[in-house]
């Protein structure tokens, strides 16, 4: 029969399955080239992983999603992860859809896979979506803690960056408290008070210089080891924009 067009192996396999001969049906389905017909039947026969493999083979993301949704409902989370784990395409699809909808799932996935950097990045994303400082700092702390055990170079860098972020945010909060418009000294130069929170280190220095708080600006520079050259550029630009010609 093989090689003859026009024969639907799906129908034959369906018949075999109805007779209860699952093995034979699976065997037969291998000859069915149309994944769109193959996969649903495989699911009906509870040959889940084969269905997933066939769906991936077809390249049709819709089919893959279909199987994944099915599996997600049926399996406990841990074994669901185990199934997708060895199949990069499936993992990628789960990740990308979970990114929009189900952060919790993603966290578990990274945890089980020991993908610490990505887990920590997820926490950083959450920190960014916090509306106020305190919870954001908490998330940052968690993100940093997540990387505590790994010693390789990228994680170390990452951790350092996260800790510096927390430090910067705290300093910025301090500045906002100290230099807010109610403080008469600061209110003189600027008509509208620009907040500090959320600015980058460079921008913070820029704002501080613009408002004439040189001491504090220098503190940031030494605290975060900003190169002299960068500082010089920042100073120049800040003074020009404040029209303090020197």
Partner 1 sequence: MAPIAPFNAAEISEKARRDLLLLLEGIRGKKNLVLEKGLAGSLNLLVKFSTLQEYGVDKPFFLENDNVDTSQRNVVFLARGEKAKTVMAVADQIKRLRRDSQIEHEFSIIWVPRRTMVSDQLLEEAGVLGEASVTEWPLFFVPLADDVFSLELDDAMSDLYLRKDPTSIYLSAKALMAQQQKHGLFPRIIGKGDNGKRLADLLVRMRTEVAAGESSDNSGPSFLGLTPSSTVDSLIIIDREVDFPTMLLTQLTYEGLIDEVFNITANQTEVDSSVVGGAPPQPGQTGSASSSMKRKVLIDPGDALYSTLRDSNFAVVGNLLNKAARRLQSSTERNQLAAKSTAELREFVAKLPGYQAEQASLKLHTSLAEEIIKFTRTDIFTRSLEVQQNIMSGADPTTQHDTISELIARDIPLPTILRLLCLESTTNAGMRHKDLETFKRAILQAYGPQHLLTLASLEKMNLLQPRGGVGLGTTPAAKPGSVTNYTPLRKSLRLWDDEVNEADPNDISYTFSGYAPLSVRLVQSLIQKHTLANLVKPSANPQAPAQANPLAQGLRLFDDAAKYVRGATFDERQAGAEKAGKARSTLAGSGHDKGKTTVVFYLGGVTRAEIAALRFVGGRLREGEGEGAGGRVVVCATGVVGGEGLVGCAVEGGRFKG
Q: Is the dihedral of CA 131, 132, 133, 139 positive or negative?
A: negative
Q: Which is nearer to partner 1, 20 or 102 (CB)?
A: 102
Query: Does residue 193 interact with partner 1 by CB under 8 A?
Result: no
Phi-psi region of 12 (alpha: psi -120 to 50; beta: other; left: phi over 0): alpha
Q: Which is nearer to partner 1, 21 or 235 (CB)?
A: 235
Are the CB atoms for 90 and 84 separated by under 8 Å?
Answer: yes
By CB under 8 A, name the one of 12, 89, 187, 242 that touches partner 1: 89
Task: Locate all alpha helices (DSSP H) within 47-152, ordered by sequence.
Answer: 48-58, 61-74, 77-85, 88-101, 103-113, 116-128, 133-146
Running DSSP on this structure, what letter comes out for residue 19? T
Q: Report the nearest approach of partner 1 to the CB of residue 14 (Å).
A: 14
Site string for partner 1, 39-78 (x = CB under 8 A): -------------------xxxxxx-xx--x---------
Pick the piece of the chain touching partner 1 (CB under 8 A) from 42-50, 106-114, 198-206, 208-216: 198-206
HSE on the CB side for 176, CA within 13 Å?
13
Query: Does residue 24 interact with partner 1 by CB under 8 A?
Result: no
Site string for partner 1, 90-129 (x = CB under 8 A): --xx-xxx-xxx---------------xx--x--xx-xxx
Q: Report the nearest approach of partner 1 to the CB of residue 185 (Å).
A: 21
């Amino acid at each position: 029969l093989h090689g003859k067009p026009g024969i639907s192996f799906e129908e034959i396999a369906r018949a075999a399955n109805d007779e209860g001969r699952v093995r034979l049906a699976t065997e037969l389905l291998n000859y069915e080239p149309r994944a769109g017909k193959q996969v649903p039947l495989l699911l009906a026969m509870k040959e889940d992983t084969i269905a997933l493999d066939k769906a991936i083979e077809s390249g049709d993301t819709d089919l893959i999603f279909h199987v994944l949704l099915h599996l997600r409902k049926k399996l406990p989370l841990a074994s669901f992860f185990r199934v997708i784990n060895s199949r990069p395409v499936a993992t990628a699809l789960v990740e990308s859809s979970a990114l929009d909808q189900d952060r919790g799932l993603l966290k578990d996935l990274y945890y089980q896979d020991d993908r610490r950097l990505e887990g920590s990045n997820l926490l950083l994303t959450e920190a960014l979506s916090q509306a106020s400082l305190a919870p954001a700092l908490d998330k940052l702390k968690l993100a940093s803690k997540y990387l505590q055990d790994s010693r390789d170079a990228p994680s170390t860098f990452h951790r350092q960056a996260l800790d510096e972020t927390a430090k910067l945010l705290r300093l910025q909060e301090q500045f906002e408290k100290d230099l807010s418009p109610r403080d008469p000294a600061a209110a003189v130069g600027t008509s509208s008070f620009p907040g500090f929170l959320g600015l980058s280190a460079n921008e913070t220095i820029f704002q501080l210089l613009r408002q004439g708080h040189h001491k504090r600006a220098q503190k940031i520079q030494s605290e975060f080891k900003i190169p002299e050259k960068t500082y010089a550029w920042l100073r120049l630009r800040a003074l020009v924009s404040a029209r303090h010609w020197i």
